[in-house]
Structure 1
Amino acid sequence: MLKRLFLGLVATLIFTLQLPIDRAFAVDIKQELRTVKQDATENVVVSNKEFEHGKRLFTNACSKCHMAGRTKTNPNVTLGSTSLKGAEPPRDNVDEIVSYLNNPKTYDGEQDISELHPNTTRTDLYPEMRNLTQQDLQDLAGYILTEAQIRGFRWGAGKVYD
Structure 2
Amino acid sequence: MTILNPGTQSQSQTGSAGAKIIGTGVGEGPGPDVMTATTLAGNKVVTSDGEHVGKISEIMLDVRGGRIAYAVLSNGGFLGMGDTLHAIPWSALTLDTDEKCFRLDMTAERIKAAPGFDKDHWPSMADAQWGSSVHEYYNRRPYWQSIQDSVEDGPLEH
TM-score, length of structure 2 as denominator length: 0.26
Higher helix share: 1
Higher strand share: 2
Of structures 1 and 2, the one scoring higher in RCO (CA 8 A, sep 6+) is: 1
TM-score, length of structure 1 as denominator length: 0.26
Largest Rg, 1 or 2: 1
